[in-house]
Amino acid sequence: MSEPAIDLRSDTATRPTPAMRAAMASAEVGDDVSAEDPTMNRLQERIAAMLGKEAALFVPSGTMSNQIGVRLHCIPGDEVILEESSHIYAYEQGGVAQLSGCATRTIKGDYGVFTLEQVQDLVRPNNCHYARSRLLCLENTSNRGGGSVWPLARIQELCDWAHEQGMATHLDGARLFNAVVASGIPATEWSKPFDTVSVCFSKGLGAPVGSAICGTRKHIDHAIRVRKVFGGGMRQAGIIAAGALHALEHHIDRMADDHRLARRFADLIRDVDGIVVDPPRIETNIVYFYVDPKLGTAAEFAGVLKQHGLLVGALGKQQIRAVTHLDINAEQIERAGAIMQEAALRCLESSRPTTAAAGAYG
């Protein structure tokens, strides 16, 4: 029987560990819409404390937690400032406009990270002709930035500036704990400059479902109402909350393994003809690389890799993403590197003209 495919498409591919499944099976439950689920209440208290916020609210997805964050701070006609490749702007179906009636203004960052100088002139004048610049959103780590970690001093500078302008701040911290592990800086320090913070349990932490939005008690009281109208209220949700609690207790420090394996994978493919790793420095668990057209498009090359047992994500005409996670081990990474090398060689050989054909062109 052939070996199972190595799935590097996303860290959302993780499956609950046996210990996590046991915790979920034995979870004490109640009606979470009525705030009567004891396991969910423990999770919300735990993540709020870990981020240094007064309160937290569990929601089904990171998209919902981000969109709730926008709704908490904005009214229709307001404007949100964010990086052009950020998840909120690029991967949430224009939810800022659809759900909150807000405009967006984007900045082109350097691997997802931008500077105060880039944003200072973007605030709209206090004039009835303009949208009101109301919210600054950052994403840490930056997905499309290759898992890049923001400099904490840069975050503090930007948030201080935004607050001076009368703007609120929201952090899309879907992979915030990757930043914690990579930097050694506690989650409380990363979260402190922001009014609200979103974190995801179903990526590197390895839980099957869910995210949380954290902020002041007033923010979360409002968030409960927004979650209801967005369709995110759940009943006996302690079963999934138990998975997230288990992840917070057991799966944070092990993210260092994901980061190490991502660096190893990047090293294995750097010298493959037709492959360019970009960004070249791997900070966390995400590796982006470009495929030379002589290997085909990203989708075509990903298809070849799939035939050989390696799953990756084609995210552009020539760009591919690979993400390490809880279900990937060192042996699989070595095998993935070998598959990449072999697939690239075969594609190059098939694209070369035969000697007779080459001669026809003189």
CB-based burial, 150-176: b 16+ in 10 Å, e otherwise: bebeebeebbebbeeeebbbbbbbbbb
Q: Report pLDDT digits (tens) over 61-81.
A: 999 999 999 999 999 999 999
Q: What is the pLDDT of residue 357?
A: 37
Quick check: helix, strand or coil at residue 233? coil
Q: Report pLDDT digits (tens) over 163-194.
A: 999 999 999 999 999 999 999 999 999 999 99
Provide CATH 3.90.1150.10 ranges for the chain.
254-351
Provide CATH 3.40.640.10 ranges for the chain.
17-250
Structure confidence at residue 321 as a pLDDT band (50, 70, 90): very high
Q: Report pLDDT digits (tens) over 127-136.
A: 899 999 999 9
Q: Report pLDDT digits (tens) over 255-296.
A: 999 999 999 999 999 999 999 999 999 999 999 999 999 999
- Superfamily of domain 254-351 in CATH is Aspartate Aminotransferase, domain 1 (3.90.1150.10)
User: What are the backbone angles phi and psi of residue 318, rounded to the nearest 5°?
Assistant: -125, 5
Q: Which two tokens stand for residue 333?
A: 């990474």
The region, left, alpha or beta by phi > 0 then psi within -120 to 50, assigned to residue 94 is left
- The residue among 255, 266, 280 whose CA lies nearest residue 184 is 255
- The residue among 101, 106, 64, 70 whose CA lies nearest residue 85 is 106
Q: Report pLDDT digits (tens) over 28-66.
A: 999 999 999 999 999 999 999 999 999 999 999 999 999
Q: Which CATH number fits domain 17-250: 3.40.50.2300, 3.40.640.10, 1.10.3720.10, 3.30.1300.10?
A: 3.40.640.10
Q: What is the pLDDT of residue 352?
A: 65
